[in-house]
Structure 1
Amino acid sequence: MKKVIHTDNAPKAVGPYSQAVAVGDFLFCSGQISIDPKTNEVFTGDIKTQTEMVMKNVEAVLAANNMNFSNVVKTTIFLTNMADFATVNEIYAKAFTQAPPARSTVAVAALPKGVNVEVEVLAHR
């Protein structure tokens, strides 16, 4: 049975999707971008700040299902510019200091709302 997960501590969905869906011991999280959940404003400035916001949003969605970064088993990072890889990787690594999850990083032509980074995660209890 699937359970829709929602928290006001992460941005509202910008389309017809849920922030996350729990099925059994798995949590399938939609990609997070640099939107401030308090103001719903999109940040498209420097990649460091965007990535910090994204990871904070991911953390909030995980917490809404009583999980944290240690539960994450797979991530996908979407970047509009692979030149940002090192900066994104530096911020991302702070969340996964031990036993990091499997990961893919994909270059894309564009992302929603004009942001430069999006991160989606799959977590397991």
Structure 2
Amino acid sequence: MNVVATKNAPEAIGPYVQGVIANNLFYSSGQIPLTPAGEFVGGDITKQTNQVFENLEAVLAEAGSSLDKVVKTTVFIADMEDFAAMNEEYAKHFGAHKPARTTVEVARLPKDAKVEIEVIALI
């Protein structure tokens, strides 16, 4: 198992890593809307989802992968009323590629984020 770490995404804020590679698959930790400097990106769900994807793209690149190699995502959303706007921004980042996905509404996310996304991708 290889740990993936990049300065182009926020450092882990707990006892975990940005991601790991095992058996030619990349598993990301959930990304929330923090800048690489660790500053929280407030605002609406669209702005937060965009920052999450910037972080995911950075850790995927460090792992030698990319969004077009993602096979599964899990989206945690704080309010299902934001689902349509999140889904629209999500679709912009994946384009024609459509990985398997689970989306769940949760009571609360770290830093009171509106969205957190994790991915599994091929290397």
State the match for 2:72 in structure 1.
74
- Could you tell me the percent identity over the aligned residues? 49
State the match for 2:35 in structure 1.
36
- The code of the aligned residue for 1:111 comes to L
Q: Which 5+ residue runs of structure 2 have no aligned equivalent? A: none
State the match for 2:112 in structure 1.
114
Task: Judge conservation of contact 1:6–1:19 (CA < 8 Å) in 2.
Answer: yes
Distance across 1 between alignment mates of 2:66 and 2:92? 13
The number of residues matched between the two structures is: 123
Alignment of 1:41-80 (within 5 A): 41-80=39-78
Structure 1 residue 27, shift from structure 2 partner? 0.4
Distance across 1 between alignment mates of 2:122 and 2:97? 14
Task: Judge conservation of contact 1:44–1:114 (CA < 8 Å) in 2.
Answer: no
Structure 1 residue 89, shift from structure 2 partner? 0.5
* Aligned-pair Cα RMSD in Å: 0.9
TM-score by structure 1 length?
A: 0.95
1:16-53, Cα deviation, whole Å (9 max, x unpaired): 0010000121001000000011x311123211110110
Q: Where in structure 1 do 4 or more consecutive aligned residues deviate above 4 Å? A: none
Greater Cα offset, 76-85 or 95-104? 95-104
Distance across 2 between alignment mates of 1:112 and 1:69? 24
Alignment of 1:3-22 (within 5 A): 3-22=2-21
